[in-house]
């Protein structure tokens, strides 16, 4: 732990590193000192103790939590549902999409009472506290707090109360697939053959030449040639492997 002391009017900064500094304990201490408000913008929020603390604080103060929509929906350990169900005001960030590929809300900061900022690489997760090499700064300064609060308010204003779910495009032939490179799609078709390699299985489809779906989890492949399937896949194209779909999960 490193303490940086400065003259009056300039920031006072505490610097912590995990896992050696038990960063979670310092977060809990600062949260316990909140008197008016707590605003949190966090990419991944899975830490049970921090979630419980936020619920307790929300009973007496203004609390807002902004989360990345994909992490909140895809991560089975996300505390988004727990927080929302226990009265914490939750929103999901509106992320940008460039060339059909969505970005993420990768911030990891909190603003306490508009004048204390917690920021760094540290996500609010158990692994960040106990396993990962992370850093976190606690900055006590009204001017810096105002800057972070302004950015939080911008993200909050553009956020949504529910996760906006866009249904992937449905593709059935090579021409449609070629238009979806870099995107996640629903692939429908009949399996022509399945070939197993050393580290992945390759599923080929009838009527789609020079294309395969790569399945890395080969523990249990329930399909066989002739099956009509509906896969959710990420379409990729490279000089080495050509056009292929990376299997994500079975489509409904």
Q: Which residues pair with 67 in a beta bridge?
A: 42, 92
Q: Which of 79, 108, 183, 212 is catalytic?
A: 108
For the entire predicted model, the pTM comes to 0.65
Q: In what order do the strands lie in the sheet with 134-140?
A: 2-4, 12-18, 134-140, 116-120, 108-112, 37-42, 62-67, 89-92
Is 150 assigned a catalytic role? no
Q: Beta 108-112 vs 37-42: how paired, if at all?
A: antiparallel
* CA neighbor of 88 nearest in space, from 70, 72, 71: 72
Residues 143, 23 share a domain: yes
Q: Are residue 154 and residue 30 in the same domain, yes or no?
A: yes
Q: How many Cβ atoms from other residues are within 10 Å of residue 16's Cβ?
A: 22
Residue 38 structural domain? 2-158
Pairing of strands 89-92, 62-67: parallel
Average pLDDT of every residue of the chain? 91
Q: What is the pLDDT of residue 233?
A: 92
- Name the pLDDT band for 99 (thresholds 50, 70, 90): low
pLDDT score of 182: 87
In this predicted structure, what is the pLDDT of residue 8?
45
Contact between 84 and 98 (Cβ < 8 Å): no
Of 76, 5, 19, 6, nearest to 45 by C-alpha is 76
Comparison of pLDDT for 13 and 102, the residue scoring more:
13
Q: Are 65 and 45 in contact (CB under 8 A)?
A: yes
Query: Does 132 reside within a domain?
Result: yes
Q: Which of 91, 123, 158 is the last residue of a domain?
A: 158
Q: Give a yes or no: residue 143 inside a domain.
A: yes
pLDDT band at residue 188 under the 50/70/90 scheme: very high
Q: Does residue 5 have a pLDDT over 60? A: no
Last residue of a domain, one of 103, 132, 158: 158
Selecting among 53, 113, 183, 212, the annotated active-site residue is 113
Task: Look up 68 and say whether it is catalytic.
Answer: no
Compare 162 and 204 and report the one with higher pLDDT.
204
Residue 193 sits in a domain of what CATH number? 2.40.50.140
Q: Based on the fold, state whether residues 118 and 183 are members of the same structural domain.
A: no
Q: What distance lies between CA 217 and its chain's CA centroid?
A: 22
26 is catalytic: no
- Does a cis peptide bond (omega within 30 degrees of 0) precede residue 82? no
Higher-confidence residue of 190 and 199: namely 190
Calculate the CA 7 to chain-centre distance.
38
State the pLDDT at residue 172: 95
What is the residue whose two structure tokens read 């099956």?
A: 227
Residue 246 pLDDT level (bands cut at 50, 70, 90):
very high
Query: Which residue in the list 26, 70, 106, 115 is annotated as catalytic?
Result: 106
Asked whether residue 69 falls in the same domain as residue 123, the answer is yes
Q: Write out the DSSP string of 21-36.
A: T-HHHHHHHHHHT-SS
| Contact between 211 and 244 (Cβ < 8 Å) | yes
Q: Quote the CA–CA distance of 174 and 245 in Å, as a whole number.
A: 11
Residue 111 has pLDDT above 90, yes or no: yes
User: Does position 67 have pLDDT exceeding 50, yes or no?
Assistant: yes
What is the percent of the chain where pLDDT is above 90?
77
Angle between helix 23-32 and helix 48-58 axes, rounded to 10 deg: 0
Q: So what's the pLDDT on residue 166?
A: 67
**Which pLDDT does position 248 carry in this prediction?**
87
Whether residue 174 sits in one domain with residue 141: no
- Biggest alpha carbon distance in the chain? 75
* pLDDT recorded at residue 98: 65
Which pLDDT score is estimated for 73?
A: 87
Quick one: DSSP state of residue 201? E
Pair (31, 66) in one structural domain:
yes
Q: Select the more confidently predicted residue: 244 or 166.
A: 244
Domain count, the chain: 2
CA dihedral (123, 127, 129, 131) positive or negative: negative
In this predicted model, what pLDDT tens digit does every residue of 123-174 receive, in sequence order? 999 999 999 999 999 999 999 999 999 999 999 999 999 877 667 889 999 9
Instruction: Look at 71-75, 153-157, 223-227 and tell me which has the smallest mean pLDDT.
Output: 71-75
186 and 235, same domain (yes or no): yes
């Amino acid at each position: 732990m490193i303490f940086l002391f400065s003259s009056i009017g300039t920031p006072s900064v505490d610097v912590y590193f995990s896992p050696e500094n038990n960063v979670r304990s310092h977060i809990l201490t600062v949260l316990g000192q909140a008197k008016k408000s707590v605003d949190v913008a966090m990419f991944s929020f899975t830490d049970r103790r921090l979630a419980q603390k936020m619920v307790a604080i929300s009973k007496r103060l203004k609390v807002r939590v902004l989360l990345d929509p994909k992490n909140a929906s895809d991560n089975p350990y996300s505390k988004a549902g727990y927080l929302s169900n226990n009265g914490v005001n939750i929103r999901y960030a509106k992320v940008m999409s460039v060339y059909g590929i969505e970005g993420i809300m990768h911030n990891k900061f909190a603003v306490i009472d508009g004048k204390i900022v917690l920021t760094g690489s540290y996500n609010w997760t158990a692994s960040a506290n106990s396993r990962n090499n992370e850093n976190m700064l606690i900055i006590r300064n009204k001017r810096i707090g105002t800057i972070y609060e302004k950015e939080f308010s911008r993200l909050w204003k553009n956020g949504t109360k529910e996760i906006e779910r866009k249904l992937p495009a449905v593709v059935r032939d090579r021409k449609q697939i070629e238009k979806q490179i870099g995107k996640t799609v629903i692939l429908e078709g009949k399996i022509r053959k399945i070939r197993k390699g050393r580290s992945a299985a390759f599923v080929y489809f009838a009527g789609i030449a020079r294309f395969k779906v790569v399945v890395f989890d080969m523990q249990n492949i329930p399909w066989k040639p002739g099956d009509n399937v509906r896969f959710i896949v990420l379409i990729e194209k490279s000089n080495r492997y050509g056009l292929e779909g990376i299997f994500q999960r079975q489509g409904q």
